[in-house]
Structure 1
């Protein structure tokens, strides 16, 4: 799994958005910057197919993506990744998976599913800035596999070792891309040092 925390641009944006004094507008901008940088490693293994290209001077053989792309942001925080990914993958379909964490059990609860019919034939990117306990990611991927998805990827900003282990054990076939892997979880299931609640910080609902 790519760990990009040592890349100068990623390290800079991560340090800025982790700060408790970072306002929502700047937080969203830094998050978008990192998300765009994550697109390249996240898509590095996609299948391609040959296509004919006519340039202004001649014709040649090029490559194009072999499968459709479906982005699945886990609401709310995953919406912060949607736009930067769409900027790089403008022909992608955007599905939505609404989940919230039960603060007592720490287990995910699904409240919304909007999944396209062509999910089984597509490259599916599940987007969520935080991989904490792994519960939401696992539940979302469980649901997508029930719909027939087989080419699955998970992309996050910050992961915990516990969440990484849980997701890898539950879905070893899913590729994970993260900007950083932090120290671990506290008793409330939040990533340490982390950056707080990503959804609240994106939308200013602190």
Structure 2
């Protein structure tokens, strides 16, 4: 995640479910990284980015190659300025918590975020505060979609980087994952390898 993204608004909710949200970025190719913690709407709902897509705004108009004879992707956009208006970046995030008054609760909220709710990337201090509890791991582990474990590992790496004591945080995470995945040792090993800092 770039420093300019942390704490900044990156898009709006376009599809809202109890367990996940889909959002569209304001700018093409500007999604938060896989595993980023997001704060959505008011009262805030928290979610972890699990999938990112760059695609045409209109799915009935598939893309055709435009770079023959050009040297870079930037040249494609310079030669075809209309592309920026025809393409978009969207992402999906798993809901992992919400704020109830002054308390942050890890778990699903009573209602999903509103459509067009603003989406912010959490800054490191907000990520550290949220990740200090590990209750959201169960929700993230329940997601069996392709790439979900990579998103979880990304979230844990970002959270460890934001923690005041990264080593202690990773030890607590390792113990929690070992308990949750006691019947899935291969998945546990793959997650531990992927989240290694």
Which has more strand, going by share of residues? 1
- What is the TM-score when the length of structure 1 is the normalising length? 0.31
* Structure possessing the higher relative contact order (Cα contacts under 8 Å, 6 or more residues apart): 2
- What is the TM-score when the length of structure 2 is the normalising length? 0.32
